[in-house]
Amino acid sequence: MPRTIKQFPFTPILGWSASRYDLFSICRRRYFFHYYAKYDKENTVRRLNRFKGLVTLPLETGSIVHEVIEALLGRLRSTAEAIDRPRFLAYADQAIARSLTDKTFEEVAYGLLPEVSAADLQPKVHACLENLLGSDRFRWLVEEAAPASGEWIIDPPGYGETRLDDLKIYVKVDVLFPLGDLIHILDWKTGKADPAKHRKQLVGYATWASTHFDIPPERVRPTLAYLHPAYEEVHESVDAADLEAFAVLIRAETHEMYEYCRDIEQNIPLDKDAFPMVDDERVCAQCAFRGICYPAQYPVNL
């Protein structure tokens, strides 16, 4: 089983990703701020990047859990000794402490909380990790997958760039386990299940693996692993017809985003005015950039 991931020459043209298209669908102005800050004539890149860099408690919980699981998988590669749970959770607490030092939380910047402390992150982070350790999947990792751990690919470098026909797309994989003739892909989830997105995500992972390793999609086993409130998995079989349907969908979504480019090949956007603000206060109230669009309504301390 090949262990190298294909590399692609740089091209400036935009690449589809699930997160990019979701942002595009939610609010065009937010999409502009996120991806085209240097083209904004009213706000500096530095200012927009401060807003873009805000993290929320739920998202940072996910980031910390991913970081700790990555370290856990690295440990499984080198030893089969039982996990010292207190020490393991203490390692997670160190990751939480780094986050509190290094990150700026949206809840604090917008005055929703006076501060964020370890107590705001620990319960869910610990619960997610405990749920993983107590799962059948973790037993599978130790007993079945670990002997082939030299073939594991944990948090591949980069942004998951691949190709779908002639389109650039990004599908970021958490971890990949070759086992026998199959490739297992796991995506750790700490938020609520979103059934509407399940199929798209799973087929996306199969597309990524099929492209990079030149294997049929039937040999890929993509799994969404929800860690909270209890451990639960979502997985479906994928075949060539699914990849073809996925390609049609992604091509349509990519061309929607192309329509907002003045120069598609160079990924130069239309003027900001062509990216309207969404007319939904509920959406705005959850947006990191709300302090730019509505400074009087959403004062921010950044």
CATH code of the domain containing 67:
3.90.320
Residue matched to tokens 């919980």: 61
C-alpha span between 190 and 195 (Å, rounded): 14
Token output for 126: 């610990």
Examine residue 44 and state whether it is found in any structural domain, yes or no. Answer: yes
- Name the DSSP class of 42: S
In a domain, 285, yes or no: no
* 298 located within any domain: no
Range with the poorest average pLDDT among 158-172, 240-254, 282-296:
158-172
Is residue 222 within a helix (H) or strand (E), and if so which, with residue range?
Answer: strand 220-226
Residues 6+ apart with CB under 8 A from 193: 224, 226, 232, 234
Classify residue 252: in a domain, yes or no: yes
**126 closest CA partner among 94, 81, 173:** 94
Q: Is 79 within 8 Å of 52 (Cβ atoms)?
A: no
Query: Does 120 score more than 60 pLDDT?
Result: yes
Bigger pLDDT: 255 vs 149: 255
Domain count, the chain: 1
- The pTM is what? 0.94
> pLDDT value at position 158?
84
In a domain, 11, yes or no: no
Which of 30-39, 85-94, 190-199 has the weakest average pLDDT?
Answer: 190-199
77 part of a folded domain: yes
Cα distances (Å, whole numbers) of residue 257 to 197, 211, 267, 269: 19, 23, 10, 10
- Cβ atoms of 89 and 129 within 8 Å: the answer is yes
CA distance 176 to 193: 21
User: Which structural domain, as residue segments, surrounds residue 107?
Assistant: 16-269
At 4 the pLDDT is: 78
In a domain, 61, yes or no: yes
Does any domain span residue 230?
yes
Closest alpha carbon to 128 in 77, 177, 81, 63: 63
Least reliable range by pLDDT among 49-53, 151-155, 228-232, 256-260: 151-155
State the pLDDT at residue 215.
94
Distance from C-alpha of 236 to C-alpha of 222, rounded to nearest angstrom: 7
Q: How far apart are alpha carbons 264 and 74 in whole angstroms? A: 41
pLDDT of 45 above 50: yes
The mean pLDDT of 54-68, rounded to a whole number, is 98
- Under the banding of pLDDT at 50, 70 and 90, the label for residue 3 is low
In the numeric block, the tokens 């620990």 are attached to 122
Asked whether the predicted pLDDT for residue 1 surpasses 70, the reply is no
Residue 86's alpha-carbon distances to 5, 94, 129, 135, 222, in angstroms, are 36, 12, 12, 18, 31
Reading phi first (left if > 0) and then psi (alpha if -120 to 50, else beta), residue 180 is in: left
Average pLDDT over residues 69-90: 94
pLDDT in tens, 211-270: 999 999 999 999 999 999 999 999 989 999 999 999 999 999 999 999 999 999 999 999
